[in-house]
């Protein structure tokens, strides 16, 4: 039997999603809890890996098991064995043809940036921070230049293992909510550090170091060395995964919501 789960987690205390030899990954915690409930070693496949310090609002995973359990056991039972920073939101049986990663049609990321002179305390490790004033309108204008299918080599980490740097960015929004700037990105797939590298470039535009057109020039130049530094991980959220309706997943609209103070 194949089961799909929806997860949310605070990535602050983890080395990232992917299991490491020394432990400390979100995957390690999830597989350990599932193995207890299933009473057998259980491996999971996720929709999209996250780096150290990156959070998830709606990660989706699947696993195969011979254990027969009610759906509530895969939610409440697994949550009882997870650290407080990780929670299963929902669980449901799916076809063996469903694959959390390969069945996904799109992924959405959200970056939350605190823009004020003082560093965060209550929001520490939950948001990025920039102390100088930022022009959100200029940043939004620059972000719009990235929409469409492009070679995103200028925003690709050196260690990225993607076969191609060409991605189709369907959404790139920048909206201010008081002292918070919220960036929303949607694409079929993303390169390693792509969102954080884009945010870094948009911050350069927002602080007046470059005009919005500079981001378009970076994109066309395909040279990572000319772009801004990678922005910090703590403000990044894996926000949602899009699947065809045929899979009938119970992903609710609130899975993409982030409570803003």
In the chain, what are the domain boundaries? Answer: 2-103, 107-238
pLDDT score of 258: 52
What architecture does CATH give domain 107-238? 2-Layer Sandwich (3.30)
Q: What is the pLDDT of residues 23-59, one digit of tens each?
A: 899 999 999 999 999 999 999 999 999 999 999 999 9
Domain 2-103 has CATH 2.60.40.10: no
Phi, then psi, of 132 in degrees rounded to 5: -95, 155
Task: Kindly name the residue from 10, 28, 39, 51 that is annotated as catalytic.
Answer: 51
Q: At what angle do helices 194-206 and 136-144 cross, to 10 degrees?
A: 130
User: What is the rounded CA–CA span in Å between residue 189 and residue 169?
Assistant: 8
Using DSSP's 3-state secondary structure scheme, residue 155 falls into: helix
In this structure, the number of other CB atoms found within 10 A of the CB of residue 101 comes to: 16
Q: What is the pLDDT of residues 191-248, one digit of tens each?
A: 999 999 999 999 999 999 999 999 999 999 999 999 999 999 999 999 999 999 999 8
Phi, then psi, of 2 in degrees rounded to 5: -105, 135
Q: State yes or no: is 242 an active-site residue.
A: no
The pTM is what?
0.93
Q: What is the pLDDT of residues 138-187, one digit of tens each?
A: 999 999 999 999 999 999 998 888 889 999 999 999 999 999 999 999 99
């Amino acid at each position: 039997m194949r089961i799909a789960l929806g997860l949310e987690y605070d990535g602050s205390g983890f080395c990232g999603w992917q299991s490491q030899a020394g432990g400390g990954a979100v995957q390690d915690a999830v597989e350990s809890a599932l193995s207890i409930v299933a009473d057998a070693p259980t491996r999971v496949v996720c929709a999209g890996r996250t780096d150290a310090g990156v959070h998830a609002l709606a990660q989706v995973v699947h696993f195969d098991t011979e254990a027969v359990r009610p759906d509530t056991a895969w939610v409440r039972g697994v949550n009882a064995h997870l650290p407080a920073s990780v929670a299963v939101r929902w669980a449901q049986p799916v076809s063996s043809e469903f694959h959390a990663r390969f069945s996904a049609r799109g992924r959405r990321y959200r970056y939350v940036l605190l823009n004020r002179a003082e560093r965060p305390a209550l929001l520490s490790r939950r948001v990025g921070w920039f102390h100088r004033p930022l022009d959100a309108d200029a940043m939004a204008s620059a972000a719009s230049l990235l929409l469409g299918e492009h070679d995103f080599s200028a925003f690709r980490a050196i260690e990225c293992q993607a076969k191609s740097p060409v991605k189709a960015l369907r959404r790139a929004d920048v909206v201010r909510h008081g002292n918070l700037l919220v960036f929303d990105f949607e694409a079929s797939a993303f390169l390693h550090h792509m969102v954080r590298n884009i945010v870094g470039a948009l911050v350069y535009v927002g602080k007046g170091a470059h005009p919005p057109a500079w981001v378009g020039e970076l994109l066309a130049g395909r040279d990572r060395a000319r772009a801004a530094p990678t922005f910090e991980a703590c403000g990044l959220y894996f926000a949602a995964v899009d699947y065809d309706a045929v899979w009938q997943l119970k992903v609710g609209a609130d899975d993409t919501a982030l409570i803003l103070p």
